[in-house]
Amino acid sequence: MQLNSILTPERTFCKLPGVSKKRFLTTISEHIAAFTPSLTPDAIYTALLAREQLGSTGIGNGIAIPHCRVGTCDRITGALVTLDQGIDFDAVDSQQVDLLFVLIVPAEETDEHLRVLSELAHLFHNDSYCHKLRAQTSNEALFDTAIALSDQT
């Protein structure tokens, strides 16, 4: 997977305010929809919340990969976010989450959804990668670092 095929600078957010899980899902749904004409904030939020109700996407070490399939989504879409402070995301290790990758996939792309999700989980289990992402202080630097480092792994 080429990270730059699903992530754009417009969907990369450095140091967003960390408030709560639901507030984060609302905010990121609005941000993603603003740059993705086939998606609405409500469709994204509803699908992400439904997925979280099945079980948390907090994978540990302060990382979460919220993901869902949306019928109106026309291509795999990602958003990378760091938060200014950790939030309770019901993670498997009970740690607060401050690094997130949101993945929205067309409803019919089940196999591709699982493949990309697996690759993202592998990438975000790299402590050095995550440390470097957390150290960034601007959207542009976060995007550039994420792409450059993902090409090296």
What string of H, E and C letters represents the secondary structure of 74-130? Answer: CCCEEEEEEEEEEECCCCCCCCCEEEEEEEEEECCCHHHHHHHHHHHHHHHCCHHHH
Check: CB of residue 17 under 8 Å from CB of residue 98: no
Q: Please pick, among 31, 67, 122, 131, the residue that the annotation labels catalytic.
A: 67
CB atoms within 10 A of CB 140: 12
- Of 93, 89, 117, 86, the closest CA to residue 103 belongs to 117
* 113 is annotated as an active-site residue: no
- Give the residue numbers annotated as catalytic, written as ranges: 67
